[in-house]
């Protein structure tokens, strides 16, 4: 019988969450955001789930791309501080979304049991589901059980014909490459010192993520393995592409119609 190791989880921490807010200013991330929303193609009247939403860049992009015509976007994340980010976000969106763009605090490693089946049209996730974590005491090791479960749970909560569009980092991602290609951001930001501080923090957290991934806690998987997992969960029309300075895959998969 194994005992779960004592590990630190920085994701719910406000400092970690805020460090990754700054990635929205980086050119590679802006390209990833554009590529992801292109594959989402949000339309009027749709309900979207934004899984591991952070401060809401994908939620905002869904709203803006649809000109405020989507019915609702619900962001889900384990860091409670993101509620503050969504409150600010709603004030910047046009037309004003009211509570049609909202945040809920939840750790998706625990599944989505609180979300009814077929309750969303589509789901999106940006560089998040990689961090679904599960430890098997019986086996004495980290497993992909939570990762597999979240794929199945998203399939359950979207309607037949619904899309799951998500990005995940490639195996052994090069944060240095992302950083080098982001240096131009310092000349565009109004607060360059703050930009550098947050970028440095993000790289430090990135090093933590890679270390934990090597233990099996987090999951930077090859594209063919992800495709196999999607197929095993029941998705069809599975496709992927590279983005984020070649450091992330974007996947799009569809829930079969009955």
Domains of the chain: 30-170+219-254 (3.40.50.150)
Alpha carbon distances (Å) from 241 to 35, 36, 44, 114, 238: 9, 10, 26, 31, 11
Percent of the chain beyond pLDDT 70? 86
Span 34-44, pLDDT tens digits: 999 999 999 99
Span 138-160, pLDDT tens digits: 999 999 999 999 999 999 999 99
Question: HSE of 11 in the Cβ direction (CA atoms, 13 Å)?
Answer: 23
Mean pLDDT along residues 165-185 = 78
pLDDT at 10: 79
pLDDT at 173: 87
| Closest to 249 (Cα-Cα) out of 214, 207, 215, 219 | 219
**Reported confidence tier of residue 120, pLDDT bands at 50, 70, 90:** very high
Confidence check: pLDDT of 199 > 70: no
Mean pLDDT along residues 70-95 = 95
pLDDT at 2: 42
Phi/psi zone of residue 244: left (φ > 0), alpha (ψ -120 to 50 degrees), beta?
Answer: left
pLDDT at 56: 95
Average pLDDT, the chain: 89
pLDDT at 4: 61
Q: How many helices (H) and strands (E) does the chain have?
A: 8, 9
Confidence check: pLDDT of 204 > 70: yes
Confidence check: pLDDT of 216 > 60: yes
pTM for this prediction? 0.90
Mean pLDDT along residues 100-104 = 97
d(CA 243, CA 28): 8
pLDDT: is 19 or 195 the higher one?
19
């Amino acid at each position: 019988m194994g005992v779960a190791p004592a590990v630190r989880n920085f994701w719910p921490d406000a400092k970690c969450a805020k460090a990754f807010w700054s990635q929205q200013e980086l050119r590679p991330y802006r390209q990833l955001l554009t590529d992801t929303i292109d594959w989402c193609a949000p339309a009027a009247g749709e309900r979207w789930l934004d899984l591991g939403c952070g401060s809401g860049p994908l939620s905002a992009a869904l709203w803006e791309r649809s000109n405020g015509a989507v019915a609702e976007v619900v962001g889900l994340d384990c860091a409670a501080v993101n509620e503050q980010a969504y409150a600010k976000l709603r004030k910047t969106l046009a037309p004003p979304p009211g509570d049609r763009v909202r945040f809920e605090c939840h750790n998706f490693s625990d599944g989505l049991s609180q979300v009814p089946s077929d309750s969303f049209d589509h789901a999106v996730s940006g560089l998040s589901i990689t961090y679904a974590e599960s430890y098997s005491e019986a086996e004495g090791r980290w497993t992909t059980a939570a990762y597999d479960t979240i794929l199945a749970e998203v399939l359950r909560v979207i309607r037949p014909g619904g899309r799951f569009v998500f990005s995940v980092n490639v195996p052994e991602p090069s944060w240095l490459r992302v950083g080098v290609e982001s240096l131009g951001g310092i000349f565009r930001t109004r607060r360059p010192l703050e930009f550098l501080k947050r970028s440095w923090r993000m790289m430090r957290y990135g090093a933590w993520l890679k270390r934990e991934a090597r233990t099996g806690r987090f999951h930077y998987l090859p594209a063919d393995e992800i495709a196999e997992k999607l197929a095993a969960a029941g998705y069809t029309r599975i496709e992927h592409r590279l983005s984020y300075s070649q450091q992330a895959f974007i996947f799009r998969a569809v829930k079969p119609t009955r």
